[in-house]
Amino acid sequence: MNPYVGCEHNCAYCYAAFMCRFSPHSEPWGEFADVKVNFPEALKKQLSGRSKPAGKVLIGTVTDAYQPAEARYRITRASLEVLAEYGLLQPHILTKSALVLRDLPILEKIEGAKVGFTITTMDRKAARVLEPGASPPQVRLTAARQLIKAGIPVWVFIAPLLPGISDTEEGLERLFKAIREAGVEEIMVDSLNPYPSAVGRMRAAYRMHFPEALPALEEYLKNPGACSEKVQERIDRVRRGT
């Protein structure tokens, strides 16, 4: 389920930029958000049919359901209310926003509801440059701690690993330590998807803000498989040490 088209988080590495080809917007991906204003009504109508789908539903696959527009339009909140009334679907939310805390009272009513936070780095500067519209990673982990305290299962998606920034041994140690301290036990990790549009944005950001890490990015782009194997070895060492 994607209550919006586009995403104001404007992450430099976002793989979903391919959605621009289906949009009439001239603005770059990350600089617009279309609101599916009738999304909750359409969802309710679909779930009222003869077929009664059950199981898990992932919210926020090519857009963030809790991007800044949600604070105003509340489309995701209204959709959760529909799911709470329906009762047969378990929403799994993936977000980079602490705004999800606003809807804790609704999530508590839905059996099987689960929240995932994408965390790419604990470096404040890197987060500010590469994901400028998202909640700071420290704020996301504070929200995770509060959700866990309320009984909502939380997992973290480390994605993508940032070459030379968060995929170093030091960067990984900071990430895993912060995530564990927040009380999160389930962690998934994914490498950078080298889509052409994302590569261009990443190179520009690295050249301007992280020139010391640019060789690591270029090495990864030349041979992502070999680099990923090395990173996996680092992850294994960090996990053994936590």
For the chain, 242 residues long, give each residue's pLDDT as a single digit of tens: 999 999 999 999 998 776 666 677 777 777 888 999 999 999 999 999 989 999 999 999 989 999 999 999 999 999 999 999 999 999 999 999 999 999 999 999 999 999 999 999 999 999 999 999 999 999 999 999 999 999 999 999 999 999 999 999 999 999 999 999 999 999 999 999 998 888 999 999 999 999 999 999 999 999 999 999 999 999 999 988 76
Pick from 64, 50, 123, 111: which is nearest to 84 by CA? Answer: 111
In angstroms, the CA 237 to CA 118 distance is 22
- Closest residue by Cα to residue 113 from 158, 61, 73, 57: 57
**Per-residue CA distances from 229 to 91, 117, 131, 235 (Å):** 33, 24, 26, 10
Angle at 11 between CA 178 and CA 234, to 5 degrees: 40
Distance CA 155, CA 168 (A): 22
CATH topology of domain 4-241: TIM Barrel (3.20.20)
